[in-house]
Amino acid sequence: MKRILLATAATALLLTPLACDFGTTGNQILAKKVMVGTLFSTPDVDVSASALAGFDGGTLPDGGIREGDRLTIPGQTAAFVFFGSRESEQGTPEPIGNATVRIEAVNSSQFNLEGSGVGTYSHTSDFGDDAGVKYKSGATYRFVAVHEGSSHVGTVEQAPSLERIETLHPAGGFVRHSANQSLTLQRPAVTGGAERTLGFVTVFPVGQNGEKGQPTYTNVPKEPLDFLQIVLSQGEWKAATMTIPATAFPQAKSNYLVVFQTVKTGGPESDNLFVGSALLVGTADVGMVRTQ
């Protein structure tokens, strides 16, 4: 972690525009508090209950259509924050478990995150449960951790729009795919000189009633501090083509939900938050895969 933190500070100095506030940047490089925050959204997914049960196209064996065949897997917005203190350059940040943490959509709503006591704070909600948690493309989100009377603020501007992956939307409504075979996703072309956003992929097995199991694959960093590496190197997550390994689809005649998350990064706003803090906000395209 020492190497990551020092390199991040050096990179910030090299990339800082001449017109920026050098006083703020200098303070952020020396700041002791560090934050890793994510706000990820997935939409509702309508699938065929018959297809989940193994009947292609939502038809029954006699050719009839099952009444009420559409099954909705509810969308969610999940927020997570790690907040800690860099007591020295020799180790990982020490978690701060007694902060008050919230996420604000600028000029809109906000919601609080619940702490686990080890420096992590989270909140997950179905879209219909809490209007304050709804994801909005184009919004600016602020991650705020209040500790000992001081607010530590990070910001992600212009939350990205959903990035449609055509491979996940064949005419039949779901992808027919062989078990134990890799699947390649082609991202849409970037136009107008825009920078490609990060792309995260997660695969979940899905039961016949729409319940999601534990992921069989993800390229999302697994530990909070792993997100700090994204500040330095984003190539893996900005590739135009992404290949999901064969191990993500281990069982034949099974259903898998492929979630492609379009993600934008942000950084510290207040000068008391370390420059290497990693903040990410994004929304997802989702497709169903049925293995043969």
Q: What is the mean pLDDT of residues 152-156?
A: 97
Report pLDDT for 107: 81
Q: Phi and psi dihedrals of 29, rounded to 5?
A: -65, -35
Report pLDDT for 91: 65
Residue 264 token pair: 């934008």
Lowest mean pLDDT among 45-49, 77-81, 288-292: 45-49
**pLDDT higher than 90, residue 20:** no
**pLDDT higher than 80, residue 243:** yes
Lowest mean pLDDT among 45-49, 50-54, 55-59, 209-213: 55-59
Query: Is 144 in contact with 153 (CB distance < 8 Å)?
Result: yes
Which are the contacts of 278, defined by CB distance < 8 A and separation ≥ 6? 35, 36, 37, 227, 228, 230, 231, 265, 267
**pLDDT higher than 50, residue 251:** yes
The pTM of the full predicted model, rounded to 2 decimals, is 0.83
Instruction: Determine the Cα–Cα distance for residues 95 and 205; give it in Å rounded to an integer.
Output: 33
Maximum Cα–Cα distance for the chain, whole Å? 73
Q: What is the mean pLDDT of residues 219-247?
A: 88
**pLDDT higher than 60, residue 164:** yes
Residue type present at position 274: F
Nearest CA-CA partner of 184 in 245, 260, 236: 245
Is pLDDT larger for residue 150 or for residue 63? Answer: 150
**pLDDT higher than 90, residue 269:** yes
**pLDDT higher than 80, residue 6:** no
